[in-house]
Structure formats: C-alpha cells, structure tokens
Structure 1
C-alpha cells in the first residue's frame, strides 16, 4: 500500500508566506476605471467595503504595477488617511493607519493609475488593423490566476469572494462591457460617457472582466431568459452564428445537468485579437481568442469546429463549476479545469453525437499519458504558494489527466449517480469556496462508494499504473506497477506507489468490475480466451491506465480486434504506442499493431489519428537510410483505405469520414505517394483560387502534403493566405503549415517571418513549436530559438515560454539534444520550470527510441 504521505492531501493553503491576512475580508467593491486607449494608460478608483474580523492598524491587499496615489478609510463617516507602502516582490499594498480599526465594517477608498500592458495579462492592450487601414486598440482583461491586482488593488485570492459594482468611463464611440448588464449611462461632456453595470454575484477577483474598444455585438439570443451575444471587431458578424448556436445549446445543457439556473444576468462571449489563453470564464463576460469563437462552418475543418464547441462548452461549464462554486486556493485549480474539460466533452457529445466526442477524448488522454509517464511528472494537486506556482498548474496534467480521471470515476460510479453527486456538491456550496475533498464527500453521500480513498490515490501522487494481465492456474491475474518512461531520481528509496485502480474486465463470461488496490488480484475465467472472445482489460476503453497482456492474451486481443469497440481498439494501439516508447516493445511491433488495425478495415478517425502518431514514432526511430522503407510501408498500409474512401467527397459522408479522407491524403503525400502528391497539388491550387469549391477537410490534408514539398511560389501563396485569409482559422492553418517546408531556403524565410510583428505574440510560440518539429530543420530552428532567446521571450505572452521549446520533444539527434538540454539548464524560466523539464525528458525518450531502433526498423516492418 502507498505510504500515508503519498495519498494524504497537502495543506489547503501551504505556507502562508506571501498570502494575505485572513482577518480582513472584502464584501463589496465599487470600481471606476477610465482607460485611455490612445496613451495605453488607465486611471481608477475603488471603494471596498470590508469586514474587519479583529482590530488592526494595517490593511494589506494585492497590487502590482500600479501607482496608488491615495488610500483612506471611512469609519462611521469619519475619514482616516493611510500611509501607502507597495511591496513589489510580494505584489502587496500595505495601508498603515494612524489608529486601530475596531472589528466590524469599514470602507477602504483607493485612487490609482496604471499602464495597459502588452503582455496579455491584467488590464492590457490588444490591436487590430481596420478594413480601411490603421491600427485600432482594445483594452481587455485577463486576471486568472493572479493578475486582477494589475488592474486595481484587491484581495486577489480566490477565497475572498465579494460583490463587484463596475463603472467605466470611456470614449463615447467605444463599446464597453463587463460582467453585468449595462444599467445606466451618463454623458461626461468631454467626449466620454460613464457606464454603470449591474452588480455581480459574490465572486473571486480573477473572474472580474471589462472590455473597451471599437467593437460590435450581435443581437441577443434569448436562452430561457438569459440574453446571449457575441462581441467582435467590425466586419466579423457573419462568423458569429455558429458560436451563438453552440452557446445556446451549452447554457441549456448545463442548467439541466447541474439542476441550477445560470447564475448570472447575461452572457457576452467576446472575441479579441490577442489573448494568452484559449478563453477565460469571466462570469457573463467570457473572453476568447478569435480562432476559438468566430468561425465559418463551410470553410472550417471538423477539428476547428470541434475546438470552437469545446472551448465554448468549457467556459460555460465554469459558470457553475468554478464561478458559482470556487476552489478555496490555487491548489484546487485542477478540479475547476479538469471538471470543465470533462464537461466540455459531455456537452459536445450531446451537441453533435456524430462527432464521436468521447473518441476524441481518448486522443487527449494519450497526451496526458505521455507527460504522466515521465520522472518529472507531478501530482494533479500539490501545494501552491507563489503566483508562479499557480501559473504552473495550467498544463496537461491539470486539464487532460484530471479530466480523464474524472471520466474514469464517472464510468465506474455510473453516469446518473455521478451527476446526482455533482448536483449535491453545487447546491451545498453555491456562492462559496471548497476543497477537493468536498466533491468526493458529495459523491460518497450519493453513491455509498469510497470515492475519497480511491481518488486520493490518483490526485495526490504523480504517475499512473501499468496493469499487467496474465493467465495462470488461478485464472486471470492482474498486477499493477508504475508506468514510467524513465525512473525518477529517488527510485528505489521506498515502495512503488499504488493506486486504487477501477478495472473493468470483459470476457466470454461477461463484464466484471474490480478495484485493484493492492499489488495483484485474480479473477476466475469461464473459458479460455479466443479471437472471438478475448479478455479485454479496460473494457470500454475509459480508464486512465495502460494494459500489458501476456503472449496468449495479446494474441487473442489482436486476433479479435475487429470485434472490439472503437475506443477499445484505440486503447490497444495506444498501449502498444506507450510500451514502444518505454522500450518494452520494438518499433516493428508497433508497426505490426498499426498494420493489424488497418487489416481489420478500421475507419474510425481517432484510431487513425493515433495510428498517424505511431507511424511518426516508427519513422523517427529509423535511421536516415531506412526512412524510404518506412515510407514505402506507409504507402502500402494506406492504399486500401484510400481506395475505400475515394478521392472526392460523397454526399453521404459524415464529418469524421471527410476528416479521415483529408488525414489519409496528407499522410500519403508526406510519405511520397505520387498519386497523393498530384492530388494534393491540384486541391491546393483549387483552394487558392476557388476555395468555396473545395471540401475543407480535403483542403487541410492537401495543405499538409503541399507544404512539405513547397517551392517558392507555393510558399509565397501560403504566406499570403496567412496574411489575408478569410477566417482566423485559415490564417493560423497556413502559418503553422508553412513551418513544415522541406526546402532550406524557404525554411530560413519562415524563421525570418517569425522575427517580425506580422506574427501575433499569441501565435509566436506555437509557430516556433511547429518549426522545431520539422525533422529536416530542427537544428536550424533550435539555433534561431537559442540565438533569439531573450528577444523572443520578451515578445511572448506571460504563459507561453514553455510552448516556445515544446517542439524539442521531436528531436532524435543525441548531440542536438545535449546542446538543447545544456542551454535550457543555464537559461531557466521560473514560471515554467517543471514544464520545460518535462519537454527535455520527452526529448530524451525520443532520442532513446532512435538509438535503440535505428538500423533495425526496415527489416521489422510488416511486408518488408
């Protein structure tokens, strides 16, 4: 069993160094801000009603990058002036008073000013180029996790919930919105108006929002009494219809699922040109990147549409789970984000059942497996002390692993029982703050299952188990051990961690559930496994563990692949993929599993997307002179599927079939199939000149092949579409595709483009990531990143530094890997230390695969 320390929750607040005193709590903020877009500055005033729990002569709150010019306290109508002390390191404002405030109510008045920064955090400036030319500015907020303090002095910790009354003084020709609906408007007589917004419900500072700029709104859509609008820059209204449809569906879906009406007065979903995250769940004023809100369904791919659906659903799920009920401290952010990621999938599955959203969820889980198998993984929940600690939680483990663990729990408890537990939790804690255990308590109360004991083993220790299945005299024996690509530095210092693993086994005798909470367990099988009735561990394919079968069981599973559910076939291939990266299986074994998937006539998009990733593993494992053999195998592998799909869209095709056709065309083209290259070239040219005639999926697949083989003319055409594409999705699609070009001179031009302001800071790290993943030019890309390190980082949003080097995970050259690791060791990024260490370790895993396999791959390929 794990030691007590391994599964015990960490302290709720950790060390209070840097934390605010709990004895004074805000109850209400009255804020007035006056942004000046021409000078990129703002002025503000705040009146904060305080509950003083015990006598004090000092008030302490958060402030950063603000000039606080006045601070005084109104105590029973008497003014008490305070002395202002700003601590830049702790990001705190201390107001020293000449007398002691008694317990009770007092009001703190503050006057301050600040700069609309260009780092996409706090109160910042975004710009766009108007149709008639010239840049236009927008003032927008992004406060999570700890940046409200950059817009106004405040108690910037999630537990300090308060009501917010917001007033904005803005130029009369600008649109201004905030969390609540507009209540009143006053002409100030100087070309500005003062707009007062309705009070919010009690909420945390990180959810406050205001947006000011030359923008437009759609007409409101009534969603059972809740007005829903899309806010956008002028000329983009025709791209808002899909988001309105999704938003209306999501609001109704969540109100029904949670059993609680939407907790705000209205929903504005705001598309801004520059945004560091994908979106942000500010109550009633949800802010998005344009690519994740504004879309043309006719020209977008299914993946691009799904991204819009997912992000809208994710943010609106937060209106209840996160906004109405909020974690007490940032150690609990995983639950907010993991649950919203899980709920986005449920909502999307209901919105477009044909999109098979839970299959796509398997793809997200694969990404979490790859991070959680590292020695540098971390527990889902861990103590958070500093703002940098909080920022470090917004990663794959919080979102994807967390949501996969929640999905596993839901499937084990049953969907109805799980939902009832969620309703109980929200109703008990609405308008309040919680710890992770409060949710487990609600689920235990409804189901009677030991949820806390099970989930603590998944939440408070990093990693996940490999469940090994074997046949012996006792029947089916299951064992668990940690699945790791590399051993942690402290390996061998104690017992391996263990999990309470909810295993679902299907065999000829039916389905059986067992919690594997020790090192091993046995099940009696009614019959010997065969191709027609294999033993499937992780039946349904929903769990967060990998499975390794003994030879007899593995043979039965592979022989019976065609009879498994698609998500189960996905899990079989995913396990083979992970075991190959770990070194338990050879690249040829992984290729053989992909071949078996093809041979059973697989047509599921998600399975083939995983197969494409496995093909890349095999390709990167091969030596340079073996790669033609790998490509020849890929062409043979895909030929039957390509013939079955055909070159052109059939009117009966569903969206996932269309996406599969595009995927196959791109893969075949990249691996040198002459027919696919000819087809891709023709589609690419047609898309340039007659885009409405080209199926979006086919066009995306053609772009993948055409980009790799691009000449100067084609490269110029791609950059033109990046600059002038009709939709936000089209622009970034071409930007990232151009990074894959094989020609060295063109790749140099691409890197030169990244040095210019043409590439928005929000997209810059992703463009460098794509460049580093180019197998022909990874060294060239790394040199550009290394030489421009400080300059590039200065341009990036605050949360994007780790994305800049994420592409190193594809490097296979040991010498280059050494150089990269040495550089990153001497150029630390404090807010992304763990994330960058994980990128380096994943790079080392890739290098190790190549060193093990190179020279042996070609002879091991199916049909080779």
Structure 2
C-alpha cells in the first residue's frame, strides 16, 4: 500500500478485501510517510521528539546496525521444535529444533544476516548453517559464520554473491533453553491437584522469535510458516493453524500444522500443554483453552460466549470475513503481557480471559470483554496488514484500543463501555502527553532501533493517545462516514456528501500525528474569542470543537489558527458555554472566569443538565489546568463540591483519580487531615445511598457502572473514616477468617475489604491473606489478594513481601514488578520499595530491563510520591549511579519521573498553603 505498511505478495490480490482497513492505513501513509513528512521535517524535527541520547559511533558494517539490510526477502520457513518438559542431566529444561528458511535475493550480496539469540547452533563443516540454491541455482560456499551478540545476528559471509531474483535455502539445527523468562519459547509452571505441571509457550513480540529459531525478525519481513511440534503423548500442541496429529513409535506425538498466511515473525505462536478446551459449534472454530480445573469450573464460558459476537461485529465493521479457519484463545499461568494477538492462537494472562462468577468482580468481566475485543480486532488490523517497523506501532495498537470498545459494546450493549474511553484512554493519554518527555504518535525510524527502544513504544502514547485521536477522527467525520471510509479511499471520504471539512483528513490529522502533546482551547465568553495553546511548545492544530450553549447543542466549530472570533460563543450573564461536547476531541478546555462560575453553579443546582462524560471532563480539565498553573487551584477544587449529589461512575472515577494525586502529594503533610475531613463529607451521601439500595450492603447494585460506583463509595468512605464503613469491612473479613472455606464477601467488594482489613490488622490477618493467595485457583481472586497484602502497615511484613518478589516460587515473575508497585502505593511501603529497587537494580534490570513492557511501570510506581528536593536529588543520584548498567525500556520512565518531581516541587511551593486553607474552610 505504501511506505510504512507491508502487504505480502500472497495478499496483494486481495486488495479490494483489504480496503476494509483502508481508512487508518491511508491516514497513516498519507500523513506519516508520504510527502508531508519531508515537507514538515524542518517544522517538526527537534521540537516534536523527546530528548534522545547521542548515538555512540559504530562501524558501518551491516552487522553493526539494528535493521536488516534490504538484500534478502524470506518466503517461507519449515520449523520443527521439540520442547522437553522434564529437566535434562544438567538440570535444565531445553528444546531442540531444526529450521529452514527459503528466501529470495533482492540485491546482489555476499552476506546473510539472520536474527538468532541465545540459541546453540550445530556446526556443519565448521559453519553454523547450510546454504543451498533452489530451482537449479548453485549457492556460493559459506566462507565463515559468527555471532554478533549485541545486534543478535548470525552472520554468514559467503565466498561469492547471491543473485537477485534467485531463491536459496538456509538450514540450521539448534538447541535452546526452555527458560522461565517469559520471552520467546519458554516454560510456565503451575500446580494442579498437588502435582507440578510444566507447559511450553511463546511470546514473540517484539523481538523474541529469534530466541525460538533463526529468522528475519522484523515485522515487515513477512513469510509463510510451516510449524511442526514434537511433544509427549499426554500433551496437546497448538499453533497458528489447524493441525494434523501423528503418533510416532518413539512414544511421542508429532503435530504438523498447516501453512500459515504470510505473516510477521512476532505473530508466530505455539503451545504444548495438557490443557482442556471448550468450543463453539460454528464455522469459526472458536475454542477457549485453559488449565483443566479452570475449564471444568466454567471459567472459560464467558470468553466463549462473547468471542463469537465480537468476531461477527468485526466482520461487519471491516466488511471482510474472518481470515482464518479457527480461533483459539488460551489462558496462561505465566505471561508477561496482558494478551498477545498471535494470528489464530491468541495468548492471554489468566486474568484477561478467565471469569468465575463466584469470585470474579464486575470489573474482571469488563476487562475480559475489552481485552478479547482488542485482540480479535488485531486479526484484521495488525495481522493481515502490518506496520513495517515499530516506530509506527501506534497504528496497530491505537486502532485496536479504539475499536475494542465498539466490539465490547456490541457483545454487552447494556454496559455503555464506549463512554469509558474518557477514563481509560483520553485522560490517561493526557497525563503522559503533557510532559516534555512525551513524543509524537509516529516517531522517526532512527529513534527506534534497540529492543529496549522498541519496548518503549508499547506505551500510553501508542495505545491511549492513538485511540483518542482516532476516536476524534470518527467523531468529526461522524461514525457512519468513518465506517464507510473503511471500504473506500481517503479522497472518497473527503468527497462524501454532507462531509464539510476545512482541510482534507490528510492535512488535519497531520497535526495530531506528527506533533507531540495537545492543545488547550480557551474560550472567552465575554468576547466570543476562541484560542489554542500547547502546554509547552508553540504548536498549532486544526481543532474540531463540538459544543453547547446552556441547554442547546450548537453546530460544530473548527479552530484552524491560534485565535479566532466566534461570535455565537459570546453569551449573556445567565448563559454558559460547554465545549468538547461528549468529549469527542483530544484537547482540554479553559474558559473565562465568568463561564467557569456559571458552569459550577449549574453543577450544583442541576448537574444532570451537563452530560455525564462532560462532568468528568470538567473535573479532569480543571485539576490539570490548575496543575499547569493555568487556572487557580481553588477553582479546580470547587468542581468537587457538587459530588454530594453525583451518583454516576465516570465523574466519580475522574474525581477520584485527581484526588488520589492529591493524596500522594499531601499524605505526609498537614494538608492531609483537612482533605480527609472534606472528602469524608463529600462521599458520605454516596455511601449512605448505596447502603439504602443494597439493603445495608447485603447486595450489589444492578446496573453495570453502578456496581463500579458502589466500589468507590465503599473504598473512599472507609479510607476517609465514614462511620460504619470500616466496621463493615473488618467484620466481613473476620467472618471469612473464622470460616476460610466460605467467603461470603461479594467479589466486587473484595479488593476494598481485603486491603482495609489487612491494613487495620497485623501478622495474623496478613498470614491469612497469604495462605488464601497461595490456595487461590482463580487468577482474578489471586490478584485481589496479592494487591491487598501490600496494604499492611507493618514494615517488616512489607520488607518480607518485597523479598518474595525475587522468589518465583512465591511471586511469579510476571507479577513481580506490579507487586512492588502495590507496595509502593502504601505510604509506609513507598520508601521501602524505593530502597529495595535501588539495592537490587542489577537483578531487576537483567530480568526485565531490556524487553519487558512492565519495566517502565516499575520506575514510575516507586517514584510516584516524589515531590521534595531531597527525593529529586535521590532520583538524579540513581540515574547517575546506574548509568553504566542502564535503564533499558525504563529510560523514558526515569526521565518522566524526574520531570514530574521537578514540576511537583514548584507547584507545591506555590499552592500548598491555598489548598490547605480551602480544605479547612470547606471541612465540617
């Protein structure tokens, strides 16, 4: 389709079918990589990118570069692997394999570079591979082979040249460790019926396929894969395609899988396990796989129920049939990511696929619906059509993050999940995109090279900002036109009758993709003047503004320059203006003080006149504008006064997130007491409301989002000391301790109850929680307990818990960094976690630093409370002391931590006293 995307020759004949993905693809191509990128290079170079350390000088040899040369193109692989699920004589778990790749020479060369990492390759006449020509072609002899370990290449130098247009076969045999490092081809361990079970599974994204077999491991290097797995008789093998099973005489099974579609190496997947499955009797071949006990307990039923309708939704949405003959989804005990969109064999953490109505909360159910929808969206966009390089990862993940809500809404139409994008994408993206260390959606190719840099692309910007910007596109085009655009060219979208755009979609979106950050739109209702300004830099966007005046929705306005007069926005003293109606755009809104006052009056007199999502917007915009010193902090605090009357989840969640930021800033100062007293007053009516409708907390609310609000009511009421709250939670937990086999606490409320009771208790409560965690057979329940154990106020228990994160027998490797984050969220645990991470930095960096998507979160979690000059000096010392070891995929997170801490120090100096006085004046 063009530079930035790669479509295999095998799929080229399906161009009309692939038009189903055209809109986002064409936007990306025309905006990011066509002439606009070069045209705007001078305007958007240094200003639009985050600081990048200077690249050290290297030789100009091809093997000293991270990108493969453009001389070879793979066509297909034949890969046979045999994982051993018992230790060998050396006490190791290993796998053996043979692999052949047929490739075509594109440009004359005497060099073959193929990725290979941590594989022990067999020697053939002193070389690590064999090379033969195809179709009568004679291959040049191999001169020498060696490994470039830093760039993870097997280097093969030839005596002569490969000929353009000719095909060759490269053959290798190898042994690898089936380690428990959550990368490549690895092992997972779990206990079932008192027996330790071992399974072999994969995670290839982003740069780990090379740990399973030698391959051209770049997303644009698509090929067909023929996979064969040899495994024990009592196990089952799965891969991307359907299988043919042959039982050998040597008491093993050989499972031969059909050829895949032409696809990227990062989407290859295979699993060897004794798992069971449930299936849907339909043409899609939907199966849900998990541990035997989980399947027998019905934990896969919900995922099976929603998979079929979500697939049907995306078939209609893309106007293309599901491209494969089967859809396997498997829940894994050890998995570093939340889920992975392997084509035809989607892998998940257990918490993202398994649901037990007896122990799983409403939030667990919603997470499964959105994650399954996200991964299935990739079966078309991301798998069928793929970005050529990781600098444009946002196209894959931003699109899937946007449409996951559409798929989930189709499967669960009463949940109203689409409105929650404001919480889980838009506001989350704002928090990161307001920093100087942010970056544009599309980064320069040269900024994304190493595995660590690639891992950093799996960020809030790629996922959440990408989703928010695409949602804005669908809003200003309207959803029907956006959907129509999936099957036509961008030019046709621009020319659709009824669509009136000031510029082409190409030109509009250019500003949002190539520039970092977002605008603050300021509306002066005294004059009607509307202006825009970036938080930090001198940018300009084409901004679509949907708005209302008092009770009336107005025509959409386009702000195309820094400032413009829009007379209808000039209002009388009894009218107010509300911009970004339904939060359709990726921008914040500020007003003149008079309009702010009228909006606050409206909230307090009749808040329901303002749409639910806009009530959340007003809260979040006000607090963040105040944090940027654009408006007064007391104005932001006043937006919370109306919460006495609020019963909806989305505004309460937006308020709580901003107030939690205040908790982190002030829970070690005199402001905290006054703030607690004020919040106790504000949440008390909500707590009493749910006490009434739940028959004194004996039931839960019937509405989907009402159940989320009920959790907020209990959590905030208990944390602020509302009378009767803590007595409830502790009595429930005590009752469970007295009868461990009968937990009557509702799953929705367990996280709050567990945390509150363990925080109030001592060793006895903690040990009970630990025992229940070890016995938990439902992953969602285990997460609730693992989080709650970090709530204790006993320092030695927290220190012991931190030590457990370095012992995979106690805390799985996939959960270590998040467990440390839970401990750091505890005011007592934060300094302990910070000291622990610093003391063991080499260990954590070696284990997670170069590729784990969760590693950056570790740094942000343990530094989240930092707001003093001393803590800033500690951060900078940490950065200096570990410069030699490095920070890997956490490099940007460390820079953001320094930036955030610096900003908080300045803000506190200016605002601490007025905040204290406001809370004192508003407290009972």
Residues 67-76 or 618-627, more deviating: 618-627
SS in structure 1 opposite 2:281?
strand
TM superposition shift of 1:377: 0.8
CA–CA separation in structure 1 for the residues paired with 2:843 and 2:107: 49
1:626 correspondence with 2:668: no
Corresponding residue of 2:652 = 608
The aligned counterpart of 1:471 is: 525
Give the structure 1 partner of residue 479 of structure 2. Answer: 415
Which of 753, 775, 781 is matched with 2:827 structurally?
775
- Determine the structure 1 residue equivalent to 2:457: 393
Q: Cα deviations across residues 632-653 of structure 1 (Å, max 9, x unaligned)?
A: 1111111112122213255762
Question: Which residue, 72, 97, 101 being the options, matches 1:44?
Answer: 97
User: 1:299 offset after TM fit, Å?
Assistant: 2.3
CA–CA distance in structure 2, aligned partners of residues 382 and 444 of structure 1: 26
Deviations 1:55-101 (A, max 9, x none): 43333222222223232213335775534332212222233334433
Aligned residues: 829
SS in 1 for 2:683: helix
* 1:763-812 deviation digits (Å, cap 9, x = unpaired): 11111112222223322221122112223344447313222222112233
Paired with 1:33 and 1:551, the residues of 2 have a C-alpha distance of 68
Q: Distance in 2 between matches of 1:172 and 1:444?
A: 59
Aligned residue in 2 for 1:826:
881
Single out whichever of 236-245 and 783-792 deviates more from structure 2: 783-792
SS at match of 2:383: coil
Instruction: Provide the residue aligned with 2:399 in structure 1.
Output: 339
1:547 to 568, 589, 598: 589
Specify whether residues 444 and 35 from structure 1 end up closer, same or farther in structure 2 by C-alpha distance, changes over 3 A only. farther
- Aligned residue for 1:323, secondary structure, equals coil
> Equivalent residue for 1:524?
567
Say whether the 8 Å CA contact 1:480–1:498 is kept in structure 2: yes
- Taking the aligned partners of 2:868 and 2:596, their CA distance within structure 1 comes to 33
**For residues 526 and 609 of structure 1, do their structure 2 counterparts lie closer, same or farther at Cα, with a shift above 3 Å needed?**
closer
Long gaps (5+) in structure 2:
1-35, 50-54, 88-92, 123-128
- TM-score (norm: length of structure 1): 0.91
CA, structure 1 residues 754+159, in 2 after alignment: closer, same or farther (shift >3 Å)? closer
- Three-state SS of the structure 2 residue aligned to 1:633 is helix
Equivalent position of 1:785 in the other structure: 837
Pairing partner for 1:660 from 706, 709, 712: 709
- CA-to-partner distance for each residue in 1:237-285, whole Å, 9 max, x for gaps? 0211111112222111111111101111111111111111111100001
Distance 1:657 1:156 in 2: 47
Q: Single out whichever of 184-193 and 331-340 deviates more from structure 2.
A: 184-193
Partner of 1:727: 778
Give per-residue Cα distances to partners, 1:133-154, cap 9 Å, x unaligned. 3x32221111111211111111
How many Å apart are 1:312 and its aligned residue?
0.8
TM-score (norm 2): 0.85
Q: 2:505 aligns with which of 451, 462, 467?
A: 451
- Aligned partners of 1:762 and 1:796 also within 8 Å: no
Mapped partners of 1:673, 1:652: distance in 2: 20
Task: Measure how far apart 1:286 and its partner are.
Answer: 0.6
Identify if the C-alpha distance between structure 1 residues 657 and 529 changes in structure 2 by more than 3 Å, giving closer, same or farther: farther
1:65 aligned to 2:110?
no
For residues 525-572 of structure 1, give each alpha carbon's deviation from its aligned partner in whole angstroms, at most 9, with x where no partner exists: 2772566x5211111112211111111111122222311110011100
1:816 paired to 2:871: yes
Identify the residue that residue 26 of structure 2 maps to in structure 1. Answer: none
| Distance in 1 of aligned mates of 2:45 and 2:477 | 22
Distance 2:661 2:415 in 1: 27
Query: Can you list the C-alpha shifts for 1:823-857, whole angstroms capped at 9, x where unaligned?
Result: 13432313331122123323333444444333443
Q: Is the 8 A contact 2:529 2:569 kept in 1?
A: no
Q: Which moved more, 1:800-809 or 1:98-107?
A: 98-107
- In structure 1, the residue matched to 2:617 is 571
Contact 1:8-1:456 within 8 A present in 2 as well: no
Q: What per-residue deviation string (whole Å, max 9, x for no partner) do you get for residues 628-683 of structure 1?
A: 22111111111112122213255762122122122111111112223111111123
Name the counterpart of 2:8: none
Q: CA deviation at 1:292?
A: 0.8
Deviation at 1:390, TM superposition (A): 1.6
1:44-443 correspondence to structure 2 within 5 Å: 44-69=97-122, 70-76=129-135, 80=139, 82=142, 83-102=144-163, 103-133=165-195, 135-182=196-243, 184-218=244-278, 220-223=279-282, 225-237=283-295, 238-364=298-424, 365-383=426-444, 384-424=448-488
1:739/1:222 Cα in 2 relative to 1: closer, same or farther (>3 Å)? Answer: same
Matched, 1:583 2:629: yes
Q: Secondary structure at the match of 1:340?
A: helix
C-alpha separation in 2, matches of 1:796 and 1:740: 25
* Partner SS state of residue 222, structure 1: coil
RMSD: 2.6
Distance between the aligned counterparts of 1:620 and 1:589, measured in 2?
20
Helix, strand or coil: the match of 1:30?
A: strand
Structure 1 residues 546 and 194, CA, compared in 2 at 3 Å: closer, same or farther? Answer: same
CA shift, 1:5, in A, is 3.2
